Each structure stands twice: as structure tokens, then as C-alpha cells.
Amino acid sequence: MQLGGIVTIIAFLFASLFQCYYTDAEVNMLIMFIMGLTVVANLKIEGGDVG
């Protein structure tokens, strides 16, 4: 699951070479959501307290 989140972020960074995604609020929210899913999945795999 962690690899999927990293690949998604790399894909957004690669796509930003051709279009400006950094100022778009919807794309920023999606990136933060995917990063959050990756962190929670990583914590669940390691047995940490998610909350």
C-alpha cells in the first residue's frame, strides 16, 4: 500500500512537468488525501495506533 501512495505522488509530480497542478486546490486535496491513506495504511500494517 505504501508503494501505491509513493507511485501516485511521483505520477502527480511527473504530470506537473506539463501542467501547473500546484495552485489547483482540488489536486492539492487529492494529494493530501492519498498521502493520508498511505500513512494510515502503513500504521495499520506496523500495528500502530491510528486513533
Q: Can you tell me the distance from the alpha carbon of 25 to that of 40, in angstroms, rounded to the nearest whole number?
A: 22
With CA atoms as reference, report the closest residue to 34 among 20, 13, 6: 6
Reduce the DSSP state of residue 21 to 3 states and report it: coil
pTM of the predicted model as reported, rounded to 2 decimal places: 0.59
Cβ atoms of residues 38 and 5 within 8 Å? yes
Radius of gyration of the chain, Cα coordinates, nearest whole angstrom: 13
Q: 10-14, 30-34, 44-48: which range is least confident on average?
A: 44-48
Average pLDDT over residues 5-33: 81
Q: How many CB atoms lie within 10 A of CB 36?
A: 11
